[in-house]
Amino acid sequence: MKEFFTNRVSQFENRAYDLQKRSNLYSYLRLFIFLSGSVATFASFSHINEYPFFTIAPFAFLVSFVYLVLLHSRLKENKKNAAAMTQINKMYIKRAEGNWHEFKDEGKEFYSREHPYASDLDLYGFKSLYQFINTGRTFYGRKELRNFFEDPDSRPHTIRSRQDAVRELSQKLDFLQKIECEGIDLNAETDLPARIKTLNKKYSEIVKDHMHFFYYTLPSLILFLLLLKIGFQKIPLFLPLGLILIQISYWIFGYGKITAVLSQIAAVRRDLTAYKKILLLIEKEEFNSEYLKKLKSNLKNSGYASKGIKNLEAIADRINIRMSPLLQFLLNALFLFDYHAVISLKKWNKNYGEDIINWFSVIGSLEALSGYAVLHLIHPDWKFPEIIENGPALFGKNVGHPLIPKSECIRNDLDFNGGVNIVTGSNMSGKTTFLRAIGLNLVLAYGGAPVCAEEFRCSVMTVHTSMRISDDLSSGISTFYAELLRIKKIIEYSKTTNPMIYLIDELFRGTNSADRITGAKSVIHALSQEWTMGFISTHDHELSESREKIPVNNFHFKEEYSDNKILFDYKLRSGSCDSRNAVYLMRMLGIEVSE
């Protein structure tokens, strides 16, 4: 797979190189035509009486120059796309090599301590699932991937539909990369539909409906009087000039408000072009999966969405004319140009305003699904999970941690049907990594993605975790109290009788051993329900030894000692752990420990 993307990188690099050479040639041709045209123009006017046909030459050179400028512009755009495609394919290679933690977009703004599992499972931040998977370049694409992580539609048939969509998209590599290419320079922090919706309220404040007649009539009257003045000198000049002064005064009066609105539309002109191209790609693509067909249907009839954005793009082009102060003054003095621009925006909003959020949501959903499709391309050995109707249940063969490189990832088999599962083991033996592997693979499974496993079956369960607990000094909350609050939420949710899975790392680590064991036993009893499944890692062997009082299943990780080293195999075994390595680690580091 790496070789495949390396070849694509070479193809696009060669294309960019060839386009650059052609671009240089076009630059020389433009200079040649400009100089030749200048000479021809001078010659035509110098010998116009001798050779009248010379007057044609300047126009011929002008047409040729404009045509070449347009070709050169298109060439530079193609070169830019080739460079972007090179960058995109290099990112695919970095994912395959495990160097994806170099990507800039880590989704840090989505991090939340309050979410039931997001902060514990490395969904966001450096070396996170988001940083690995995300290919979205739009605000809605990034947001939708977060929704897939945190709150997907987890009905079994919907998950299966998303799986079909991901499978199909993984076969449309060019389509995926073209969408990413078109959005590569977008401002992913801008919610464009929300901005346009907010501006719509201001349109009505600036341009009242009953004033439209005035905005059309007054400029028309001025134009009519000026034409009369040119044709019939008897028309007093003060009539059109007076009306022009009225228009200038009216324009100046509303300048502040109207500029605040129009400048925001002009500022997103380039983004509109990118969105238009993305929508065109989606409209032209044929899909087979029902999930993708339904998504595309939100664009209404083919060409509707791209046409709507194209119309808005045209309005933005007209607004950009205002960037020239002199031209802006003349256009508003004669035609009340700014007010007509607002009228155009009002009309656009009336025709398309209710649909734009749906259009951008379609783009966002496709981008989020594309991230999962890329995952399937990078790891063709990962499998799509089978969603079981009845549970709680979790079965997997050779299940690994999705964020650990393949060469370093130790995999384990899973076979659990509810209950409380106590995982013991010494320090660094793999307990926490095992819990996170379960959680991350379930997040992928419920989103419709393939998982890091040779085989994987699971029922739909709400995931809750208590793993990476820290204090909150600003709120006066200690680590132990923060953990208590987290455990309380897990217990409270278990009372809803909704199927759930909980992953708890080192239960009540922040208190003394006697209170920890007493509290842990109470938590285990509270969570021992037929609709729950849980994994609790601990160093407290008492929890695994009290089988007659606590209904638990015991598993452990072990280590070996050799040549003053501790060796871990990170393999899950049945039963409880009977070894400890803390003292051994201290002595390895030169800390004297008395027996």
Nearest to 70 by CA among 26, 114, 17, 38: 26
CA atoms of 392 and 416, how far apart (whole Å): 8
CATH code given to domain 386-588: 3.40.50.300
Q: pLDDT, tens digit, for every residue of 344-363? A: 998 998 899 889 999 999 99
Q: How long, in residues, is the chain?
A: 595
Helices (H), 379-473: 431-447
**Pairwise CA distance, residues 484 & 507, whole Å:** 10
Residue 539 has a pLDDT of 75
The answer to whether the beta carbons of residues 374 and 133 sit under 8 Å apart is: yes
446: tokens are: 């419920």
Question: Which contiguous run of DSSP H or E holds residue 459?
Answer: strand 455-459
Q: To which H or E segment does residue 500 belong?
A: strand 500-505
Please tell me the predicted confidence (pLDDT) of residue 321: 85
- 254 phi and psi angles, rounded to 5 deg: -105, 10
Across 213-223, b (16+ Cβ under 10 Å) vs e yields eebeebbeebe
Kindly give the residue spans of alpha helices, DSSP state H, lying in 151-207: 156-170, 173-182, 192-206
Peptide bond into 156 cis (omega under 30): no
> What region does 65 belong to: left with phi over 0, alpha with psi -120 to 50, or beta?
alpha
Q: Residue 183 carries which DSSP code?
A: T
Contact 61, 36 (CB under 8 A): yes
Give the C-alpha separation, 292 to 301, whole Å: 15
Give the CA distances from residue 269 to residues 136, 309, 317, in Å, rounded to whole numbers and listed in that order. Answer: 20, 10, 7
47-93 pLDDT, tens digit per residue, is 545 555 555 666 777 777 777 778 878 888 889 999 999 999 999 99
What pLDDT score was predicted for residue 20?
85
pLDDT for 551: 74
pLDDT value of residue 546: 55
Residue 349: name the closest of 188, 215, 195 by CA: 195
SS (H, E, C) 267-329: HCHHHHHHHHHHHHHHHHCCCCCHHHHHHHHCCCCCCHHHHHHHHHHHHHHHHHHHHCHHHHH
Distance (Å, rounded) from C-alpha 583 to C-alpha 595?
Answer: 9
Nearest to 463 by CA among 113, 109, 107, 118: 118
Place of tokens 């380039």: 270
Mean pLDDT, 10 residues at a time, over the chain (595 residues)?
Answer: 87 89 82 75 59 61 76 86 94 92 94 91 95 95 96 94 97 96 89 85 75 83 78 73 88 88 88 94 96 93 88 93 86 89 90 91 96 95 94 94 92 93 86 95 97 97 89 62 88 94 85 74 89 88 62 85 76 78 56 59
* Cα(552)–Cα(535) distance, integer angstroms: 10
Distance CA 511, CA 33 (A): 83
